[in-house]
Amino acid sequence: GIVVSSSNMSSYSDNQLMYSWSNKWSSGLNHWRFTKDESNTEFAFVKLNHLLYRYNGENSQGNFYIHGGAGVADSEIERRQTNDAYMAGFEADWETRTLYTSLKHYYFTSPKVTDISMTQARIGFSPFESGFDQLQSWFMLQAMYMPDVEAELVITPLLRFFYKNVLWEVGSSTRAEWMINIMVHY
């Protein structure tokens, strides 16, 4: 299948177009923007994702993914020219029909431009169970740390909605930074 996704806050954005060519592997294009003091660092990658491990329990599921990519970086923050760039990361999640937890860590480097790391953790709950063909609603709390972009931990309460093949999230951080994310599976 194909996944189109966009995650956006004022301090960063992550836009992807990915194709799953097996139940464990996907590849595609990925663009990241990080904003610090109104200056941007942008990365564009050809990206590869691998589902390293999946746990399917009777009432829960867990996943562990690894990611890698190669591409280019351009940084207004460092005021240097476009150069080669690389990214690596992992994502882990565990969920039931009403509980959700996840942890992500990404590292971006362009040896002559900049290095940026990002860690994000989430915990959430759904007040009720819904079928796949019904609207699913979640209340979540996200903590994000990007020491090269933001000096402090950013806490964002958010609402997640999922209906069939479309997921969308809206929220606002404790510093009044908006967040809007959307993901569509084809």
166, two tokens:
């479309």
Q: What is the pLDDT of residues 147-186, one digit of tens each?
A: 988 888 999 999 999 999 999 999 999 999 999 999 999 9
93, two tokens:
């999640």
The burial of 38, by beta-carbon neighbours within 10 Å (0-12 exposed, 13-18 middle, 19 or more buried), is given as exposed
CA angle 127, 128, 132 (to 5 degrees): 130
Q: What is the pLDDT of residues 84-126, one digit of tens each?
A: 999 999 999 999 999 999 999 999 999 878 899 999 999 999 9
Q: What is the pTM (predicted TM-score) of this model?
A: 0.92
SS3 call for 175: coil
Characterise 127 by phi-psi region: left (phi > 0), alpha (psi -120 to 50), beta (else). Answer: alpha
* Pick from 52, 54, 6: nearest CA to 29: 6
Q: What residue ranges in 37-79 does DSSP mark as E strands? A: 39-56, 61-75
